[in-house]
A = this chain, B = another copy of it.
Amino acid sequence: MSAERRLEGEAGSAQERLRDHLSARNLRLTPERLLVLEGVLTREGHFDAEELLEHLRRSNKSVSRATVYRTLDHLAEAGLVKKHHFQEGHALFEHVHGRDHHDHMVCDRCGRVIEFVNDKIEALQEEVCREHDFRELRHVHQIFGICSACQAVEKRAPNASPHHSGHA
């Protein structure tokens, strides 16, 4: 299974990174934290904490809710996952270990997520921060609108929408 392979392929260095992050703070790499890391690495796209918790329970790798939340924060600090507050009352995570930075376009109709990177925008952002003596730690850049497919559908049937399943 590809998730398993991915885990094997990358787990070594992700674990290493987590271990380094923790030990630098006199924290310990516990079995529970490893279970959460493993769970995170096998999730695709954007997921929330409860979803991860449920996934761990189903796979008989149960970890308490408190530990999941606590560990996700550690992983975020270690730069292994990103935590987004896209909508209210619902933080979403994505694992970013070994992935390049990217931003998102989100279709209001079907929910499709398109990733994009634009080096010029990234550079201009840095410039803006410099101008304000602001030390950037991260950014959220999302463009909402209607994707190509939904525009086509609208043109032909001004009502229906090609319901794109699950968040990407």
Contacts and interface: CB of A to CB of B under 8 A. Distances in A.
Contact of A134 (B89, B91, B127, B148): B148
A153 interface: no
Given A88-B91, A143-B139, A124 B134 contact: no
Interface stretch (A14-22, A34-42, A56-64, A113-121): A113-121
Given A85-B87, A125-B121, A137 B144 contact: yes
A94 B116 CA distance: 27
A145 to B, nearest CB: 4
Complex copy number for this chain = 2
Contact of A124 (B89, B120, B136, B151): B120
Contacts of A85: 85-88
A23 to B, nearest CB: 21
Interface string A100-135: 000001011000001010101100110111001111
Which bracket fits the contact residues of A? 35 or more
A144 B133 contact: no
Nearest to A129: B143
A146 B145 CA distance: 30
A128 B136 contact: no
A5 interface: no
A155 to B, nearest CB: 11
Contacts of A145: 129, 134-138
Given A87-B85, A124-B124, A141-B141, A135 B151 contact: yes
5 contacts: A121-B121, A124-B124, A129-B145, A139-B141, A140-B141
